[in-house]
Chains A and B, each alone.
Chain A
Amino acid sequence: AQSVTQLDSQVPVFEEAPVELRCNYSSSVSVYLFWYVQYPNQGLQLLLKYLSGSTLVKGINGFEAEFNKSQTSFHLRKPSVHISDTAEYFCAVSEIRNTGNQFYFGTGTSLTVIP
């Protein structure tokens, strides 16, 4: 079975500073990768996804992520964070099975932007 590891459970960062949220996955087979954001008292919202092609993926709100197959990583980055980026961020992996895709989620990283 797939496992998704988000190494940092909490990341505090000052406003306008850059941030990187780390994600590693275990599977050696072809997978598809996602980052979701969850604001307080809301559901998960898709930030970006990697399916194929360029390893650098751009998403909403100025976020981007880079797929590194050799390191089985999919780290999320933003060059300058805003207060409004304070939220929980989840990395997810989709593994294709005969019966359909199976999604696996990491435990989440809580990003706190400090004014």
Chain B
Amino acid sequence: EADIYQTPRYLVIGTGKKITLECSQTMGHDKMYWYQQDPGMELHLIHYSYGVNSTEKGDLSSESTVSRIRTEHFPLTLESARPSHTSQYLCASSEGTGGWETQYFGPGTRLLVL
């Protein structure tokens, strides 16, 4: 079983607030990812990292930012939350390369911006 954690699990917040979604993994994986998941939609990659000090934007444009100062930690920050940011955010990490790469997911953070 994968050891990847996300906090908070649920967050209700007002417009304009700054929020940080935490993601940590204890597996020593170099690669980490943030996905946005909306009902009936495919998972959209918004950020990824291939290691410490490496961050890239994914296919879906996002106003969030990420940092990767430590291997195990990959937080996502929204400087000013808006109702359009309401969604579920899934963090993942992966091991292996090429076809052997497998992603492991955290439990998700469900965000509601009022």
User: Interface residues, chain A, CB within 8 Å of chain B?
Assistant: 4, 9, 32, 34, 36, 41-46, 49, 51-52, 90, 92, 94, 96, 100-108
A44 contacts B105, C-beta separation under 8 Å? yes
Residues of B within 8 A of A43 (CB): 4, 6, 90, 92, 105-108
B103 contacts A103, C-beta separation under 8 Å? yes
Residues of B within 8 A of A92 (CB): 103
Residues of A within 8 A of B101 (CB): 32, 94, 101
The count of chain B contact residues (Cβ–Cβ below 8 Å) is 28
A42 contacts B108, C-beta separation under 8 Å? yes
A42 contacts B107, C-beta separation under 8 Å? yes
Interface 1/0 per residue, B94-107 and A, CB below 8 Å: 10011111111111
Closest to A91 in B: B42
Contact with B40, one of A32, A34, A108 (Cβ below 8 angstroms): A108
Main secondary structure of the interface of A (DSSP, over half): strand
B90 contacts A103, C-beta separation under 8 Å? no
Residues of A within 8 A of B50 (CB): 100
B42 contacts A52, C-beta separation under 8 Å? no
A41 contacts B107, C-beta separation under 8 Å? yes
CA distance A46 to B90 in the complex (A): 14
A103 contacts B45, C-beta separation under 8 Å? yes
Q: 9 A–B contact pairs at CB < 8 A?
A: A41-B108, A43-B107, A43-B108, A44-B90, A44-B105, A51-B99, A92-B103, A101-B98, A105-B35
